[in-house]
Amino acid sequence: MSLNLQTTVRLNNNVKMPLFGLGVWKSGEGTVQAVADALDFGYRLIDTAHGYGNEKEVGEGLKMSDVPREDVFVTTKVWTDVMRAGTVYENCMESLRLLDTEYIDLYLVHWPAPLVYVPAYKEVERLYKDGYVKAIGVSNFHEFHFKKLLEEAEFLPTVNQIECHPLLTQEPLIDYMKDIRCVPQAWSPLGGGELLKDETIIEIGKKYGKTAAQVILRWDVQLGISTIPKSTHKDRIIENASIFDFELTLEEMATLSRMNSLTRFGMNPDNFSF
């Protein structure tokens, strides 16, 4: 199947989600322009979170671009402080207000905070049933979190957003997620920029005249992993999405996957909670 910037994946509730998008964690004051630039270039998925503190800027970026709201897929998430306070429903109303939108396309439990992630997900289910969010899911969940969640969940999570890149390929978790038709989505696909100096990745790119960032992001989409690289630079926003005119060979895909060294640039949800 040939892929393009607007290729979608069908979630387990039949909602279509673009495979490729823009992440805005730490985008700060550059958020508005980054969102507008990305949409103007053809991105159709924007990933934010209440905890990033820039939902308002995402909303402004959506308005700055000419792309109609219904053509954009907006993800946001509920953070652990809200989950512990038991105010998930109210917090989603606040996200809607900040984003200045009537609905959220995908709403995620941002982190499996012990004791509260199951009740938080039940509130997210209520938001789904009430029509405020079109799809629901989780982030940073491991298999044992899913097992506990599914004892009580009414709806399967549609997406699990996880740290994923060639140094942390997450194969066992992604295999498990396939069984429950939960789509993997990679946060920090470029390892926060750290992977861009890797010689193996740079070398693969030379054959195609592509950068390390483009090689990694192409590896994601060829694996069917949704990916949301962050940049506030227009040239990089364009560069990152210019990955649909080449194809990595099976051997190159395998070389990238063999780089897995269980290296994390973020925290491990197995033994850490915010």
Q: What is the contact surface with ligand A2P in residues (CB under 6 A)?
A: 23, 188-193, 196, 211, 213, 229-233, 236, 239-240
User: What distance lies between CA 210 and its chain's CA centroid?
Assistant: 23
Shortest distance, position 127 Cβ to ligand A2P, whole Å: 27
Name which of 169 and 231 has its Cβ closer to ligand A2P.
231
Shortest distance, position 188 Cβ to ligand A2P, whole Å: 4
Name which of 166 and 189 has its Cβ closer to ligand A2P.
189
52 among known catalytic residues: yes
Catalytic residue among 52, 107, 117, 121: 52
Shortest distance, position 259 Cβ to ligand A2P, whole Å: 15
Name which of 31 and 101 has its Cβ closer to ligand A2P.
31
Neighbouring C-beta atoms of residue 221, cutoff 10 Å: 20
Shortest distance, position 20 Cβ to ligand A2P, whole Å: 12
DSSP designation for 70: G
Q: Are 133 and 122 in contact (CB under 8 A)?
A: no
Give which of 64, 58, 35, 69 is closest to 237, Cα–Cα.
Answer: 35
Could you tell me the sign of the dihedral formed by the alpha carbons of 70, 53, 263, 176, in that order?
Answer: negative
* Region for 191 from its dihedrals, namely left if φ exceeds 0, alpha if ψ lies in -120 to 50, beta otherwise: left
Any idea which residues carry the catalytic annotation? 52
